Amino acid sequence: SLQTKPLVLGTTDKITVLDPAKTYDFYTWEVFQNIGEGLLKYKPGTTELIPGIAKSYEVSPDGLEYTFKLREGLKFTDGYPLNAAAVKWSIDRVMKLDLDPSWLVSAFVERVEVVDTYTVKFVLKEPVSFFPALVATTPYTPVSPKSFPEDKVAEPTVGHYGPYRIKKWTRDVQLVLEANPDYYGSPPKSRLFVVKFYKNAATMRLALETGEIDVAWKSLRPIDIRDLKAKGKQKVLEVPGPYIRYIVCRCNKPPFDDVRLRRAIAAAIDRARICQEAYKGTVKPLYSMVPMGMWGHIDAFKQEYGERNLELARKILTEAGYSKDNPFNIEFWYTPTHYGDLEADVAAVIKESLEETGMIKIDLKSAEWATYAAEYLTAGVMPIFLLGWYPDYIDPDDYTSVFLHSEWSPDMGVFYSNPEMDRLLDKARTEIGIEKRTQLYEKIQKLMAEEAPVIPLFQGVLTAATQPNVKGVVLDPVMLLRYYLIYKE
Amino acid sequence: MASLRVYVIRRVLVAIPMIFILLGIVFFIMRVVGDPVSAILGGHAPQEQIERIKEQLGLNKPILFQFFDYLGQLLRGDLGRSLIWGQRPVISEIWDHFPATLELSICAFLVSILVGIFTGIIAATNFGRFFDHAFRLYGIITYGLFIPWIGIMLQLIFGVYLGVLPIGGRIGTLMEPETITGLYVLDSLLTLNMESFISAIRHLILPSLTLGIYLSGIYTRLTRTHLIEVLNKDFIKSAWARGLPKRTVIFKHALKNAFIPILTMMGLQFALLLVGAVLTEITFSWPGMGTLLFERITYRDFTTVQGIIVFFALIVITVSLLVDVIYAYIDPRIRY
Amino acid sequence: MKYSISRFIVSNIIKNIFPRKGTEYFVLVGFILVLLIILMAIFAPFIAPYDPIKKVGEILERPSGKFLLGTDGLGRDVLSRIIFGARTAVLVTFLAVSISLSFGVLLGLLSGYTGGKFDTVFSLVMDAMYSFPGLILAIVLAAMLGPGILNTAMAIAVIYTPTYFRMVRGLVLSLKESLFVEAARAIGAKDRTIVFKYIFPNVISSIPIVLSLNAADAVLTLAALSFLGLGLPAPTPDWGFDLRAGHAYLASRIWWPSTFPGLMIVILTLGFSLLGEGLNEILNPELRR
Amino acid sequence: MKNLLTIQDLRVYYYLREGAVRAVDGVSFFMKRGETVGLVGESGSGKSTLGLSILKLVSSPGKIVSGKILFNGNDIAGWNEKKMRLLRGSRISMVFQDPMTSLNPLMRIEEHLVETIRTHQKIPKAEAKKKASLLLNEVGIPPERGGDYPHQFSGGMRQRIGIALAIALNPDLLIADEFTSSLDVIVQFQILNLMKKLKASHQMGLIFISHDISLVSEIADRIALMYAGQIVEFAPADIFFSEPLHPYSEGLLNSVPNIELSDQKLNYIPGMPPDLVRPPDGCRFYPRCPYGEDICRRKEPPLVQIEKEHMVKCFRYDGKKSRT
Amino acid sequence: MERKVELKVVNLKKYFPVQKSFLERLLSGKIEYVQAVNRISFEVRRGEVFGLVGESGCGKTTTGRLITRLIEPTEGKIIFKGEDVTFIQGERLREFRKYVQIIFQNPYASLNPRMRIGEATAHPLEIHGIATGERKKKMVFEMLEKVGLEPAKKFYDLYPFELSGGQRQRVAIARAMILNPELVVADEPISMIDVSLRAKILELMLMLKEERNLTYVFITHDLAVAKYISDWIGIMYLGEIVEIGRKEQIFSTPYHPYTKALLSAIPVPDPKREKKDIKLKGEVPSSINPPSGCRFHPRCSFAKDKCSNLKPSLKMVDKDHYVACHLY
Ligand SMILES: Nc1ncnc2c1ncn2[C@@H]1O[C@H](COP(=O)(O)OP(=O)(O)OP(=O)(O)O)[C@@H](O)[C@H]1O
Ligand SMILES: Nc1ncnc2c1ncn2[C@@H]1O[C@H](COP(=O)(O)OP(=O)(O)OP(=O)(O)O)[C@@H](O)[C@H]1O
Ligand SMILES: [Mg+2]
Ligand SMILES: [Mg+2]
């Protein structure tokens, strides 16, 4: 019944909610990159922003007003015109609904004004250096007032505008996309694109091997990646992604209100072993919260402690009054239900590597994700625990302020507060000009390594495995796969 | 048949208190062990926000009122909305997943019944001899099998080593038949879509075998005991004494009578079928109710979990009702 | 009286422990399997070749002379893990069964003997719970209670209490109507005497059967909860959990981390079921067929 | 006149783990066309087993070990299942004790009859139905109730239906196993009368199995008294009741209260019947026998013929009626 | 010589609901009653045996259980030695149990399978605090020997399942007699015992009666047995007593058509006896909706119009001989 054989991509992720005002997870954002488009977008393969629905934009000298000129004559897939009014309506809707991702708009944008049919102006609350990056995020994606209700979350399959449009969507089973004939740009490389949702990575891998799917994307297990590489029948593409994992120390209460203990942990942790043993080398050790590949990154923790320094750790612990006979006893928490099956392994390796000091005694504790994230984390129940971070927008700010700024760090369970740090972060946020900001972030990272409220562990690696004839899989730090570039030869 | 109709009506009436009790149990267990507000907000929300949500959800009222509110809601067919993501109505989440579970359950049920009754008959008619012992053992062993383990073993053999059958999912890419009943096998037959039909069957084989084998042991045992019991009854002796052929005696007289207690047990075992289906679904990534339940529990999607349980409860009651009615239909003694 | 019941049971077991015919091997085999696993649990530290929660070899090594059943995804010895896993299984099963047994039997006796409204309501509730798919309740309970030995045991116990309740209540009801209880009343026995001297001894003899069949169910339920990650916290060796961890390596044809823990679950369950079946034959000779 | 049925030295054992239960152990007797043999004995003496073995329906673990069953002159002991099937229900039929359970609860009684008739006679359904109504009428059930289920009938009526089923094909021999013992006396009386009537009109032989010796006396022409798997006395009914020879016969008759007698002195037989797995070596009745002598303990007494049709299994008689 | 009245039953009635539980009632939509015993009255005199005869299901056992206060009557009075015991409870009921005992029909079910013979027999002594320790044991041994369970020492330690039916019934008798009761209700005590042993049990019961001047209510469905053991006989039909009289009167001059039918239906071990015919139609109707008027009228060949409307009451036809029938 199908004239063209579709390109099939498998993933173990899922579409949570197909509404830009509500969705706040990476995978659904990826879908919006393909069925929708922001005013600005990233050039594939880079972190460089290029025009999207907007042809161009201007910033007022005070950095408070951004004026976008839209492309003309665009239509949503429900036929409704995509103009300045629709953009304003969409942004207003996000702010009014006030759901999970809305802070990405409402924290920065004062209001949106329609200047003329194709010109729209964003008035900011205060200058934000990374506003264009924000504009490229999903909450800024315009949707059609015809298909989306103004006052509640909805998941229509029409009313978007992007290279693809939805042909059929069976939740948790598959998403069938077809080329959007009204798209301004070059049409997608594959006319028909199917995303198959898997619950189980092993199944997905077998599907790849049997040729049922063309691309396996987020997330094959390390062991499968190793196997596939070894077999060599499929292509395996890897690139460091902006996804990071780290340890959080609860800084406001004993024992980790004592900076020495945090430093001891930071020194004793064995990143290499975690990457090798739990992840079979599919992730990379990380020495700063700002991920590798992002401007401003320095290996701050390596500079401070070296790759691993057991001696230093023992020294600090001795200073803090611990010894082999009087070890530092601590509960270490992790969650088995959110970060994949390997989390327990990660925790076990951490336990071993810390206990190698001979002066630390770890009691591993776990809680399922809802309790972990919704209750324990913010209530400060867990003295030290594992967490992970996917960025909201691609800027060092998103990797630092949230953890280190006294205003937000309680939300992340860090409870860290340092006026000097707050000052540096605030400055870096508003400063325009990449040089100055780079310097600021280097300072921030150094201070972070000294104080070690959070201890970076490793950076995720983006891996996609494809059939040999598949081309156009562009993996980039933005982490959102552009389906419209993929095709089969 | 008027009396049968009256019986059915009465039986339905009797089911009502059962429904209340089950709903009550579900409701109170969920209230006792879970806190929906913190599930929605996370533990650190300010007090006034907690109060606001409580009021929105009616959680500030006494628990009995809450229960009656909840019942009222249920009567309108409203199971509430999911707490996460799109906050979709729970009922649509359920309808999305239920056909998959239904399809799997039906197939597994058929497998288990066919295998179970067949082996049971052989065991009973060979009472005390080799096949009897062998199938008794079969019954005990299968009952002790752990579904995920059988599943994984089958996946290893047929999916990984032989590579002949898929080990997950319901159907091949873009092969879904047009939705009529939601059961792929049936829909593809109705729309004469052979490609879909084959794919659906191929995907069904391993999960239904897993669940079917597990359940078949119970039917082996049931069939065996009840058939032996019936075969020892005077009316069977009397049937032999009248010179009726073996086929008639075993199938027409014995099996039909043995079927009545088996049917009752089927009703009771239905819960086991559901339990098995949950585990099978998770092992085979089958997009059904079990997978949904498991996913939502890990996200603490309180209302969806409650909705699913209520739905299961209603199914259980409906099935036991159905069983009783079929029972009354088969057995003339039951009709009052 | 205590003596008499135990003598009755024990003498019957001894009489049957060396079976002469087909199905009577059931109880012997079941008994041996269960005993072996209990011994394994008790003496785990002496039997296990390695520390079950330490990396002792390369990851995912095939079974070999060094690691008889290979290593798991973290380089831990699979054999040692399943040996220690017996502890978890035995302990949780024991706890769960004891809890549900005590509650179920007590409530069943009370409810059955007193009768009346209390009984009606109670047995309706228990029936409802019984008819409900148990594992699903257990999943919800376990998820809400969080991981841990006692919590898991509680979640399992809750769903099996109705089994005992129903059995005991049913027995009590029929015993209450039985002629020998009526005879006891005719000689002027008080209620308490009737319950403890006439009803209870007759109830207790059926308990071993249900108990071992239930233990089989409890093992499966525990395995299921662990398989779903709702059982004990890692890195406690736990068959269900290890089975699930092993499931990940399926596509790589790495079968040993999943096959063996699963096999242990099956063996222990089988042991309990065989024991239950056998006891059933021994203690209820009239049901023998 | 030729014998309808002759049983010679029949042995039927149940093979249990404890050993073989010798339920029928060397039984011989005969009956003529149209006669009634009353098979009497206490519970467990092997009456039902004997009855069933005539149809070769002894259920596992029971087996016919040896002996002859001559029916109309043919030894059916050696017949295969297929041949036996044709015999059952048509030439020899059987009525069972419990009218509650001897009919299939899920089948209308008419279906029972039609099924039986059509198993043995290839006639159209309608004709079989007509025959069924006639039969019901004959046993005193209104034929219009043919469409009812067994549970809708009372015990007596069900037993009548059982009889209708048994005589449906005009058998030569009817075996009735305790078929009135669950009925009340008055109904029992009615059924017994019906049986007598049918027996006469159908020219059937009847083996009437019962533990109630008084009841047997009402219908039997000959009495076969069983004790522990053996026939200890076989005699014409009037002789048996007036002059019982075997000590067991004597004891039994004396232990039954008789409503006709006033100031009856009841007797009883001490002890209990033997275990049929390990019966006593000599005479099986020896342990309970008031006249037991040494020889009785050592040797099994033969079944001796006293008169032409009177046999007794006791050393006290030696081919004559007088005691030796 | 007129003996003292030991037990008097007046208009005793017992209805059992058919639908026992709430759910059953809901399922069938109505409440029906089994009219098991319907206004029966009789007297039993000290030292005599009152035989209660009737067909299966006519309410004999129910009457026995009512008399021994094992179930509560729906209506009516039970007077034991001049005292109204219909509703006594607690200690007084326990005291009553010392004097009134019952032996059940089924010896396989009336003994606790988990209790040794000795314990079972001794239990009444313990309950009523009559004897303990060695004295108790001695009394039990004596009793066991008296009922013929010799050697008592051996039987003392056996379990019921190790005994035959006759032996079990002896245990039941021993247990009933050990308290030295005055009135014993024997509910078909021999019907489940082998024919050859029945006479022995009857003899034992008669011996005990003579020895202790006991009063028996002897329930049986077998007129021949009743004739053998009783002084008085009451004929029951469908929950009602249709005829009462001294044994000789019942057998020589039965009045009620039902009694007559019963008498002629009883088989007699004598093939030469001339067979009488009985003019009786049908079978016993259900006691849930019993016939109106005289409950026997649908089967009676002498029934008149009156019989279907009016319930006949017991009328004296001779001295000590009562009949409930419109014919007289
Ligand atoms: N299926 C069987 N398996 C083993 N033993 C059996 C079986 N049927 C009968 N017996 C034994 O065979 C013996 C004779 O049994 P049978 O039923 O023929 O006696 P019966 O005279 O008909 O007794 P009743 O009057 O109780 O019906 C008994 O000892 C009985 O226990
Ligand atoms: N506990 C009860 N509940 C309901 N109905 C009962 C109960 N006990 C007896 N009946 C009914 O009452 C009627 C009389 O029963 P009862 O046992 O007194 O008769 P019976 O004369 O002793 O009969 P049998 O000779 O069979 O022992 C029967 O119809 C019986 O079904
Ligand atoms: Mg018999
Ligand atoms: Mg009775």
pLDDT band at D324 (very low <50, low <70, confident <90, very high): very low
Q: Give chain E's domain count.
A: 1
Which ligand 1 atom minimizes the distance to the CA of D41? 21
Give the distance (Å) from ligand 1 centre to CA of residue D43: 8
The residue-averaged pLDDT of E15-21 equals 81
E92 Cβ contact partners less than 8 Å away, ≥ 6 residues apart? none
- Which letter, b or e, does each residue of C125-135 get, where b requires 16 or more Cβ atoms within 10 Å of its Cβ? bbbbbbbbbbb
The residue-averaged pLDDT of E252-256 equals 92
Task: Reply yes or no: is the peptide bond before residue A51 cis, omega within 30 of 0.
Answer: no
Distance CA C260, CA C269 (A): 14
Residue D323 has pLDDT above 60, yes or no: no
Give the distance (Å) from ligand 3 centre to CA of residue D43: 7
Average pLDDT of chain A is: 90
Distance CA C19, CA C25 (A): 6
Tell me the per-residue pLDDT of A471-480, one tens digit each, with 9 for 90 and over.
999 887 777 8
A433: closest CA of chain C, how far (Å): 47
pLDDT band at C2 (very low <50, low <70, confident <90, very high): very low
Tell me the per-residue pLDDT of C204-226, one tens digit each, with 9 for 90 and over.
877 887 888 889 989 999 999 99
Distance CA B298, CA B278 (A): 15
Q: Which of A353-362, B43-52, B196-205, D273-282 has the lowest mean pLDDT?
A: B43-52
Ligand 1 proximity of D21 Cβ (cutoff 6 Å): yes
Residue nearest to atom 24 of ligand 1 (CA): D43
pLDDT band at C23 (very low <50, low <70, confident <90, very high): low
pLDDT band at C44 (very low <50, low <70, confident <90, very high): very high
Distance CA B148, CA A340 (A): 19
Instruction: Give the model's pLDDT for residue D184.
Output: 86
Chains E and A touch (3+ CB pairs under 8 A): no
How many residues belong to chain B?
A: 336
Give the distance (Å) from ligand 1 centre to CA of residue E105: 23
C262: part of which helix (H) or strand (E)?
helix C256-283
Looking at chain D, the whole-number percentage of residues with pLDDT higher than 90 is 49
Is the minimum CB–CB distance between C141 and chain A shorter than 8 Å?
Answer: no
Ligand 1 proximity of D60 Cβ (cutoff 6 Å): no
Instruction: Give the model's pLDDT for residue C11.
Output: 53
Q: Give chain C's domain count.
A: 1
Instruction: Give the model's pLDDT for residue A226.
Output: 86
Residue nearest to atom 16 of ligand 1 (CA): D46
Q: Under a CB-based contact definition with an 8 Å cutoff, are residues A153 and B86 in contact?
A: yes
Query: DSSP state, A35?
Result: H
The more confident residue out of A367 and D239 is: D239
Q: Is residue E147 part of a domain?
A: no
Average pLDDT of chain B is: 85
**Residues spanned by the domain of D183:** 3-91+171-313
Give the distance (Å) from ligand 1 centre to CA of residue C288: 17
How many Cα atoms sit within 13 Å of E171 on the Cβ side? 34
Chains that touch D (3 or more CB pairs under 8 A): B, E
Q: Is residue E251 part of a domain?
A: yes
List CB-based neighbours of ion ligand 3 within 5 Å.
Answer: D 48
Average pLDDT of chain E is: 89
How many residues belong to chain D?
A: 324
Distance CA B283, CA B285 (A): 6
Q: Which residues 11-70 in chain B show a CB within 8 A of chain E? A: 11, 13-14
Chain D residues with beta carbon closer than 8 angstroms to that of B233: 101
How is residue A14 written in tokens?
């899922």
Instruction: Give the model's pLDDT for residue C10.
Output: 52
pLDDT band at A446 (very low <50, low <70, confident <90, very high): very high
Which ligand 1 atom minimizes the distance to the CA of D16? 4
Q: What is the CATH number of the domain that holds E306?
A: 3.40.50.300
Nearest C-alpha in B relative to D106:
B331
Interchain contact, D217 vs E225, CB within 8 Å: no
pLDDT band at D272 (very low <50, low <70, confident <90, very high): confident
Tell me the per-residue pLDDT of E166-181, one tens digit each, with 9 for 90 and over.
889 989 999 999 999 9
Instruction: Give the model's pLDDT for residue D230.
Output: 93
Q: Is residue E144 part of a domain?
A: no
**Annotated domain spans of chain B:** 90-298
**Residues spanned by the domain of C89:** 39-288
Ligand 1 proximity of D219 Cβ (cutoff 6 Å): no
Distance CA D153, CA D148 (A): 8
Chain C residues with beta carbon closer than 8 angstroms to that of B159: 250
A375: closest CA of chain B, how far (Å): 4
Give the distance (Å) from ligand 4 centre to CA of residue A358: 83
Name the nearest CA neighbour of E114 among C3, C188, C108, C106: C3
**Helix, strand, coil shares of chain E as percentages rounded to 5?**
35, 25, 40
Residue C84 has pLDDT above 90, yes or no: yes
Ligand 2 surroundings by CB, under 6 angstroms: E 16, 34, 36, 54, 56-62, 221, 287
B19: closest CA of chain E, how far (Å): 14
Residue nearest to atom 6 of ligand 2 (CA): E16
Q: Is residue E55 part of a domain?
A: yes
Name the nearest CA neighbour of E80 among E65, E99, E94, E55: E99
Instruction: Give the model's pLDDT for residue E323.
Output: 94
Q: Which residues 225-284 in chain B show a CB within 8 A of chain C? A: 225, 228-229, 268, 271-272, 274-275, 278-279, 282-283
Residue A123 has pLDDT above 90, yes or no: yes
Which ligand 1 atom minimizes the distance to the CA of D24? 14
Instruction: Give the model's pLDDT for residue A172.
Output: 84
pLDDT band at A290 (very low <50, low <70, confident <90, very high): very high
Instruction: Give the model's pLDDT for residue B329.
Output: 82
Residue E121 has pLDDT above 90, yes or no: yes
Interchain contact, A337 vs B298, CB within 8 Å: yes
Query: DSSP state, D301?
Result: P
- Least CB–CB distance from B332: residue in D55, D90, D149: D149
Residue nearest to atom 11 of ligand 1 (CA): D23
B99: closest CA of chain D, how far (Å): 36
Q: Which of B47-56, D33-42, D181-190, D199-208 has the lowest mean pLDDT?
A: B47-56
Tell me the per-residue pLDDT of B284-329, one tens digit each, with 9 for 90 and over.
989 899 999 988 887 778 788 888 988 988 888 888 888 888 888 8
Residue A319 has pLDDT above 90, yes or no: yes
| C-beta atoms surrounding C160 within 10 Å | 26
Residue D190 has pLDDT above 50, yes or no: yes
Ligand 1 proximity of D23 Cβ (cutoff 6 Å): yes
Average pLDDT of chain C is: 84
Q: Which residues 8-47 in chain E show a CB within 8 A of chain B? A: 23, 26-29
Is the minimum CB–CB distance between C32 and chain A shorter than 8 Å?
Answer: no
State the helix-helix crossing angle for C25-42 and C2-17, rounded to 10 degrees: 110
Which ligand 2 atom minimizes the distance to the CA of E288? 29
Ligand number nearest to the C-alpha of D273: 1
Nearest C-alpha in E relative to C124:
E23
Looking at chain E, the whole-number percentage of residues with pLDDT higher than 90 is 52
Residue B173 has pLDDT above 90, yes or no: no
Instruction: Give the model's pLDDT for residue C18.
Output: 47
Ligand number nearest to the C-alpha of D53: 1
The residue-averaged pLDDT of A243-261 equals 92
CATH of domain B90-298: 1.10.3720.10
Distance CA E48, CA E216 (A): 6
Looking at chain A, the whole-number percentage of residues with pLDDT higher than 70 is 99
Name the nearest CA neighbour of C239 among C256, C226, C255, C253: C226
Please report which residue ranges of B58-193 form alpha helices under DSSP H: 63-75, 90-125, 130-144, 147-154, 184-190
Q: Which of A18-32, A396-410, D268-282, E94-108 has the lowest mean pLDDT?
A: D268-282
The residue-averaged pLDDT of D200-221 equals 91
Q: Is residue E146 part of a domain?
A: no
Beta bridge partners of C35: none
Instruction: Give the model's pLDDT for residue B37.
Output: 64
pLDDT band at C21 (very low <50, low <70, confident <90, very high): low
- Least CB–CB distance from A202: residue in C74, C235, C247: C247
Q: To test ligand 1's pocket by mutation, which of D45, D55, D180, D216 has the most ligand atoms within 8 angstroms of CB?
A: D45
List CB-based neighbours of ion ligand 4 within 5 Å.
Answer: E 61
pLDDT band at D17 (very low <50, low <70, confident <90, very high): confident
Is the minimum CB–CB distance between D225 and chain E shorter than 8 Å?
Answer: no
Chain D residues with beta carbon closer than 8 angstroms to that of B127: 60
Residue B179 has pLDDT above 90, yes or no: no
Is the minimum CB–CB distance between E278 and chain D shorter than 8 Å?
Answer: yes
Interchain contact, A336 vs C235, CB within 8 Å: no
Residue A2 has pLDDT above 60, yes or no: no
Is the minimum CB–CB distance between B198 and chain D shorter than 8 Å?
Answer: no
Q: Is residue D126 part of a domain?
A: no
Q: Under a CB-based contact definition with an 8 Å cutoff, are residues E301 and E281 in contact?
A: yes
Q: Is residue C13 part of a domain?
A: no
Instruction: Give the model's pLDDT for residue B298.
Output: 77
Q: Put the strands of the sheet holding E215-220 in their side by side order.
A: E100-103, E183-187, E215-220, E49-54, E232-237, E240-246, E321-323, E315-318
D98: closest CA of chain B, how far (Å): 7
Distance CA A266, CA B256 (A): 73
Is the minimum CB–CB distance between B305 and chain A shorter than 8 Å?
Answer: no
Which ligand 2 atom minimizes the distance to the CA of E187? 22
Tell me the per-residue pLDDT of B121-145, one tens digit each, with 9 for 90 and over.
999 988 878 888 889 889 889 988 9
Give the distance (Å) from ligand 2 centre to CA of residue D9: 46
Distance CA A350, CA A353 (A): 5
Which ligand 2 atom minimizes the distance to the CA of E54? 21
pLDDT band at E266 (very low <50, low <70, confident <90, very high): confident
A320: closest CA of chain B, how far (Å): 32
Q: Is residue D163 part of a domain?
A: no
Taking each continuous run of H as one helix and of E as one strand, the counts in chain E are: 12, 12
Q: Give chain D's domain count.
A: 1
- Complete DSSP assignment for E19-65: S-SHHHHHHHSS--EEEEEEEEEEEEETT-EEEEEE-TTSSHHHHHH
Instruction: Give the model's pLDDT for residue C17.
Output: 47
The residue-averaged pLDDT of A453-482 equals 89
Distance CA C233, CA A67 (A): 54
